[in-house]
Chain A
Amino acid sequence: MSHAKAKAEAEPEAGVDTATTASMTVGKPIAEVRSLWLEPDTQSRIWSHFATVRALDDGTAEWTVPGLTGGEYRWRTATVDEAPDRLRWSTHDGADVPNAGVLTFRPAPGDRGTELHLAVRFDPPGGVVGQALAKLFHVAPREIVRTALYRFRALALTGEIPTTDPQPAARHGGTDR
């Protein structure tokens, strides 16, 4: 599938701000990058700025996202291993915020490794569209996916995700928040 098509499929019919795309190049072969993405532990680590992701025994994952105004949103996703160059996931029925994503792997030119193209779409309940989505979560959709890809790239290349929390500072209980 072309990138444009994957993106179109991930976008909702209205309210473009509820859908977002991001691309990142990781200097590793496709097979290695893909296999790392599919590890359950990877998902919980790269989305931790947004959600707590818990891998369940049946291959699905349970997502818990704190709401901006208190409470939390929950959903369960199943990932479909659609093709060697593509993964797709969507939420089960009953999700608090239904959403879906498509991740496409493409060879990068030269020795640059693998391009990841990620498209994610949220279908907020109650007709919430556009920027209002950012009012549900403490982070906007664009940042949700870009930060996850940055973290994934760091993990793939170095085996760790850079952090400064906690660290010495004279405020905020020793963290830098």
Chain B
Amino acid sequence: MRALCWNGVNDLRVETVADPEILNPSDVILKVRLSTTCGSDLHLIDGLIPTMRAGDVLGHEFMGEIVDVGAAVTKVAKGDRVVVPSFISCGRCWYCQHDLYSLCDTSHPKPELQEPLLGYPTAGIYAYSHAFGGYAGAHAQYVRVPFANTDCFKVPDGVSDETALFISDAAPTGFMGADFCDIQPGDVIAVWGCGGVGLMAQQSAMVLGAERVIAIDRYPERLAQAEAFGAIPLDYTKVDVVEALRELTGGRGPDACIDAVGMEAGGTGLQQAYDRVKQALYMETDRGTALRQAMLAVRKGGILSILGVYGVMDKFPLGLLMNKGVTVRTAQQHGQAYVPRLLDHAQRGELTPASLATHRFSLEDAPKGYDMFKHKEDGCLRAVFAP
């Protein structure tokens, strides 16, 4: 089959690779209908995440049709159109049974690789380096999906492929970030980042009853998309974000702040220059401008919900959190806990994940798609690939 392979820093190629096979009884093989780029892939492409190997197939956000099933698969069948969360979860361990699916105890094939980094292994994830399981990704004609009884969700008729696609990752990640905010009547939620996850977090905060949602980014087309569904846009290159948030909340500060940016945050000023220099020298990997702002802006006793992907950050202003009594909630997405209700919200039009699909490519043109996505050319929010 054809697949998009990582060959090194900024070196992606579509190559011919072996077809996936059923390896365990609860596996299925999916014929990929659509897959998409994710901002976190840029960390792999830019070489910020170790333990990638030349030849790895990329892509962790996808949907498709089941074409083969293992002997233990009972809840889905050949021909089903399904969406699959990006973290692989068994559904049987203590973590899965407590809706902490991305912390699954059993799906990581090489836990001994990850244990030294994190203390305990997380769930395996598609195409996110060997430290995170080394599972082949879905920018391909076919992908193997383990634990299909837990991880494959049938897409109802009337929900389009493009809507279902983002319910694989961007929508559940964003929704989880809003869920973390424990939104009460009157709450104001500020979201850093208007990429796929940020926009979904903003919509989700509205669905969950936020009084007001503030969207922070620098790209006019992304801010316009947030404004279109009712968020208040803030361009961080034009205003002092912390001051503007204070103003918009009558001096209280947002009740909760969501960081949907992560380690490659853009920014301005000295802190940004300092972060960038250290990153370039491999003295640290993360810039964290968005996170620093969110920590300062959040109201006393508020919630900081971190969805951005981070590695190592030094000079972390922990005292801000301590002295302000801030609750930090964070996780990789526990998608399996949210997918069914997200499909319902999408069917009712309360969430519009398909609006993230701004550019479409064939799988053969996936490197071009990533290039466009990375440089945000032509207002590219997400590039979608069809094999």
Cα A146 to Cα B124 in complex, Å, equals 17
The answer to the question of A69 belonging to the interface, with a C-beta cut-off of 8 Å to chain B, is no
Chain B, residue nearest A167 (CB)? B136
Contact of B90 among A158, A165, A171 (CB under 8 A): A158
Chain A, residue nearest B124 (CB)? A162
A113 CB contacts on chain B under 8 angstroms: 94
A171 CB contacts on chain B under 8 angstroms: 53-55
Binds B, one of A33-41, A72-80, A149-157: A149-157
Q: Are A160 and B24 in contact (CB under 8 A)?
A: yes
Cα A99 to Cα B312 in complex, Å, equals 41
The answer to the question of A172 belonging to the interface, with a C-beta cut-off of 8 Å to chain B, is yes
Q: Give B56-99 as 1s and 0s: 1 = Cβ < 8 Å from A's Cβ atoms.
A: 11000000000000001000000000000000101011100100
Contact of B3 among A27, A162, A163, A170 (CB under 8 A): A170
Cα A157 to Cα B94 in complex, Å, equals 10
Cα A113 to Cα B92 in complex, Å, equals 13
**Shortest distance in angstroms between A41's beta carbon and chain B's nearest beta carbon?**
14
Q: Are B136 and A176 in contact (CB under 8 A)?
A: yes
B140 CB contacts on chain A under 8 angstroms: 168
Q: Give A103-121 as 1s and 0s: 1 = Cβ < 8 Å from B's Cβ atoms.
A: 0000000001100000000
**Shortest distance in angstroms between A123's beta carbon and chain B's nearest beta carbon?**
24
The answer to the question of A64 belonging to the interface, with a C-beta cut-off of 8 Å to chain B, is no
Contact of B130 among A27, A154, A162, A176 (CB under 8 A): A176
The answer to the question of A81 belonging to the interface, with a C-beta cut-off of 8 Å to chain B, is no
Q: Are A160 and B17 in contact (CB under 8 A)?
A: no
Q: Are B24 and A166 in contact (CB under 8 A)?
A: no
Cα A55 to Cα B340 in complex, Å, equals 45
The answer to the question of A159 belonging to the interface, with a C-beta cut-off of 8 Å to chain B, is yes
Q: Are B55 and A172 in contact (CB under 8 A)?
A: yes
Q: Are A164 and B107 in contact (CB under 8 A)?
A: no
Task: Please classify the interface of chain B as helix (H, G, I), strand (E, B), loop, or mixed, using the class held by over half of its residues.
Answer: loop
The answer to the question of B133 belonging to the interface, with a C-beta cut-off of 8 Å to chain A, is yes
Q: Are B55 and A170 in contact (CB under 8 A)?
A: yes
The answer to the question of B367 belonging to the interface, with a C-beta cut-off of 8 Å to chain A, is no
Task: Please classify the interface of chain A as helix (H, G, I), strand (E, B), loop, or mixed, using the class held by over half of its residues.
Answer: loop
A27 CB contacts on chain B under 8 angstroms: 92-94, 97
Q: Are A166 and B18 in contact (CB under 8 A)?
A: yes
Q: Are B25 and A176 in contact (CB under 8 A)?
A: no
Q: Are A164 and B135 in contact (CB under 8 A)?
A: yes
- Report B115-146 residues with CB < 8 Å from chain A CB: 115, 121, 124, 130, 133-136, 140, 142, 144, 146
Q: Are A167 and B107 in contact (CB under 8 A)?
A: no
Which residues of B approach A to under 8 Å, CB–CB? Answer: 1, 3, 5, 7, 13, 15, 17-21, 23-26, 53-57, 72, 88, 90, 92-94, 97, 105-109, 111-112, 115, 121, 124, 130, 133-136, 140, 142, 144, 146-147
In the assembled complex, 30 residue pairs joining A and B whose CB atoms fall closer than 8 Å, in A order, are A27-B93, A143-B112, A146-B115, A147-B111, A153-B93, A154-B90, A157-B90, A158-B147, A160-B24, A160-B25, A160-B26, A161-B24, A162-B24, A163-B109, A164-B133, A164-B135, A166-B23, A167-B136, A168-B3, A168-B17, A168-B19, A168-B57, A168-B140, A169-B18, A169-B55, A170-B5, A170-B7, A170-B57, A174-B17, A176-B136
Which residues of A approach B to under 8 Å, CB–CB? Answer: 25, 27, 112-113, 143, 146-147, 150, 153-154, 157-172, 174, 176
19 more A-B residue pairs beyond the given contacts A162-B88, A167-B135, A168-B3, with a C-beta to C-beta distance below 8 A: A146-B111, A147-B111, A150-B112, A154-B105, A157-B105, A157-B106, A158-B26, A158-B106, A164-B133, A164-B135, A166-B23, A167-B21, A168-B20, A169-B55, A170-B3, A170-B15, A170-B57, A174-B17, A176-B53
